[in-house]
Structure 1
Amino acid sequence: MTTFGYFLSSEEHDPKELVRQARLAEEAGFEALWISDHFHPWLDEQGQGSFVWSVIGALSEATSLPVTTAVTCPLIRIHPAIIAQAAATAQILLDGRFRLGVGTGEALNEHILGDAWPPAEERQRMLEEAVEVIRRLWTGELVTHRGDFYDVDTARLYSLPEQPPPIYISGFGPKAIELAGRLGDGYVSVSPESDAVEAFHKAGGEGKPAAGGLKVCWSQDEARARETVHRLWPTQGIPGEAAQLLPLPRHFAQLAELVTEEAATESVPCGPSTEAHVAAVRQFVDAGYDEVYVSQIGPEQDGFFSFYSKEVLPRLREERQA
């Protein structure tokens, strides 16, 4: 049975607003939370970039919903041993409701300490080793690790939950999806593609959850919603590998000048149409996702939660029951 969750945008909203939105999401009937993990926003216009682990601590007191990072990169900016400690603490604070979503990241966030940005295949090998380090530390044993990418010297985690959090792995291409199926406890994507879910299952993910996320922009005025998407998330219309390679928000802004409003909003339901919002979520359900997370673009958060509470979530639950 599909879980319907809300996707908190650390790039758009300050930490206190993220906590407020989490409360509103639970009150509106959402059943789980995603939260993005960024150092920089994609664009200066988005304007935020809080430390996700601090926000997760606040969420543990503000809501009873499960929380998943969507997604953390445990490769360069933060060593996987520290991610292991952070995730173990989050799992304790959330009483077992935390899931660690991981991926191979973007230069936008990972270049900040001056490290070289590796090619995709090397980052996938780094992710595999990082997951190994994290899981070893979650055993509570004394860990020494000498790997291709990471060294750990006689480290032991003392604050450990009764059960370690599941690790969901993000994947877009065939190799990344294969890695997710082979190593992950779940799969993360933002594309409603049944082929990706099937590939995850065939790679070892059968019986494991697949989680998908999408962006929407509710407003009573469809034209205003479309303008908001084009202003805040034109990056939706930038194709190819640029999202993984560009180091600064201004570089994304330069490319975004080429993105038309039509291109930016092509996959984003905009405005007050219940059917448009339901249909967008339904694409992920029909593709086989077990969890679907919706992110509202822009400042009209209160109206969005009221709309979804009264119009969209009841429809989705009716279809789920059917």
Structure 2
Amino acid sequence: MTGLQIGYAAMLERFAPAEAVALAAHAEAHGFSGVMASDHFQPWVPAQGESSFVWSVLGAMGERTRGALGTGVTTPGYRMHPATVAQASATLAALNPGRHWLGIGSGDALNEHVVGGYWPEAPDRINRMFEAVDVIKKLFTASAAGRDVKHAGQYFRLESTRLWTMPDVAPPIYVATAGPITAKRAGKTVDGLITTGAPREKLEHLLSRFAGGARESGRNAATLPKVLQLHLSWAPTDEEATANALREWPNGGMRFAGSDIRSPFEFDQIARMVRPDDFEGRMLISSDPDAHRAHIQSFLDLGFDTVHLHNVGRNQREWIEVFGRDVLPKLRR
């Protein structure tokens, strides 16, 4: 797998923190490279059953693994001010030199509404996200130079301060998006792109827009990380793989944006309408490891250099061992 990374997606809304740490270590022992941990305050549906604090879990994962550590993704500005996110990220990077990247998104009401603030429309959320990125970058740059910085913007204020704990090299910042406008803006301003599995045409357009933004900022998109989080359902039989998807990850079959839904119990009511056909084109459900290999390879062929895999079943160890043996060694950049 020279030149690419196939990592483990640790879905903290599904596994207790100690179990998630153990699974990340198990994945690395079987050929997975790096871990991407979700930042949730609540699970998507009650059956998923967990939602631990991502920064604590990533710290523990850093002690048990040796690969990259990323947030997939965190949202500054609601539960935590961008300065607090910057401090958490810098601390994790100081503990794990050269291993941590900071993944940032515009957020979902499911997680961010809990602090009781106004939940804005999508364009405001995106503008808020990019201003948060600006605050974090200012803190990283000034703190590395040993000086204070301040910020007064539309959404955030920062009085003169610095991060007193900084790694030798600031963590790279990646922005998560499924939209072409945000992808172009990310190409202009941050260090990499994160997105999730989608039809080929949509992803081609997304990567093209990201590359266009990079060119406008005088950079080559070919050198910038492009990260894909890929949900899948593998089990020894197709029937079991389908049952796992319906029971454990019905949100993957919902054909609409759920960013404004506030409760796992609301998602659960909608999930009752999800049928196996709803996953088609959104998530591969198969007992055939070679079908999954071809599916993953198709995204690598598009230009993604890092893919973090999430198997929706509870059969994590079995899946890790099968893919580590039969899938990962056959993937090529």
TM-score range (shorter-chain normalised) is: over 0.9
Show CA shifts across 1:272-292 (max 9, x none).
312111022112112211111
Is the contact between residue 76 and residue 115 of structure 1 (CA under 8 Å) also seen in structure 2?
yes
1:48 is matched with which residue? 50
1:29-64 C-alpha deviation (Å, 9 max, x unpaired): 011211111111100010110000000110110000
Matched residue, 1:304 = 319
Q: How far apart are residue 122 of structure 1 and its match?
A: 0.8
Distance 1:310 1:178 in 2: 37
Q: Which residue of 2 aligns with 1:79?
A: 81
| Cα pair distance change 1:291/1:189, threshold 3 Å | same
Residues 1:279 and 2:294 are matched in the alignment: yes
Kept in 2, the 8 Å contact 1:209–1:291? The answer is yes
Match of 1:37 in 2: 39
Where does the alignment leave 5 or more consecutive residues of structure 1 unmatched?
none
Counterparts in 2 of 1:32 and 1:200: CA distance versus 1, 3 Å: same
Q: Note the 1:196-207 alignment, pairs <5 A.
A: 196-204=206-214, 206=221, 207=223
Q: Which residue of 1 aligns with 2:265?
A: 250
Matches within 5 A, 1:1-322: 1-138=3-140, 139-140=142-143, 141-192=147-198, 193-204=203-214, 206=221, 207-241=223-257, 243-264=258-279, 266-316=281-331, 319-320=332-333
Q: What CA deviation, in whole Å up to 9, does each residue of 1:112-135 have, x standing for no partner?
A: 010010111111111111111111
Cα root mean square deviation, aligned: 1.4
Cα distance in 1 between the residues matched to 2:205 and 2:185: 15
Alpha-carbon distance in structure 1 between the residues aligned to 2:250 and 2:280: 8
Q: How far has the Cα of 1:211 moved from its partner?
A: 0.5
Larger mean CA deviation between 157-166 and 294-303 belongs to: 294-303
Q: Contact 1:145–1:151 (CA<8 Å) still a contact in 2?
A: yes
Distance apart, 1:267 and its partner CA: 3.3
Alignment-mate amino acid for residue 12 of structure 2? S
Counterpart Cα distance in 2 of 1:22 and 1:161: 24
C-alpha distance in structure 1 between counterparts of 2:10 and 2:247, whole Å: 18
CA distance in 2, matches of 1:20, 1:221: 25
Give the conservation status (yes or no) of the 8 Å contact 2:184–2:209: yes
Question: C-alpha distance in 2, partners of 1:82/1:113?
Answer: 15
Is residue 218–residue 303 contact of structure 1 (8 Å, CA) maintained in 2?
no
Classify the secondary structure of the residue corresponding to 2:284.
Answer: coil
- Find the aligned partners of 2:320 and 2:256 in 1 and give their Cα distance: 33
Which secondary structure does the structure 1 equivalent of 2:235 belong to? coil
Identity %: 35
Native 8 Å contact 1:217 1:226 kept in 2: yes
Q: Distance in 1 between matches of 2:166 and 2:236?
A: 47
Residues 230-260 of structure 1 show CA distances to partners (whole Å, capped at 9, x for unaligned) of 111111121232x211011111111112211
Looking at structure 2, the residues matched to 166 and 266 of structure 1 have their Cα atoms a distance apart, in angstroms, of 31
Q: TM-score of the superposition, structure 2-length normalised? A: 0.92
Separation (CA, whole Å) in 1 of partners of 2:92 and 2:279:
35
Tell which deviates more after alignment, 271-280 or 179-188: 271-280
| Aligned residues of 2:235 and 2:287 also touching (Cα < 8 A) | yes
Matched residue, 2:217: none
Give CA-to-partner distance per residue, 1:129-154, whole Å, 9 cap, x none.
Answer: 11111111112121222211111122
Instruction: Tell me the matched-pair count.
Output: 317
Unaligned runs of 5+ in 2: 215-219
Are the counterparts in 2 of residues 6 and 34 from structure 1 also a CA contact under 8 Å?
yes
Aligned with 1:153: secondary structure? strand
Alignment check: 8 A CA contact 1:75 1:123 kept: no
Equivalent-residue separation in structure 2 for 1:306 and 1:124 (angstroms)? 39
Find the residue that maps to 2:327 and give its secondary structure. Answer: helix
Following superposition, the deviation at residue 264 of structure 1 comes to: 3.3
Does the CA-based 8 Å contact 2:14-2:49 persist in structure 1?
Answer: yes
Equivalent AA in structure 1 for residue 99 of structure 2: R
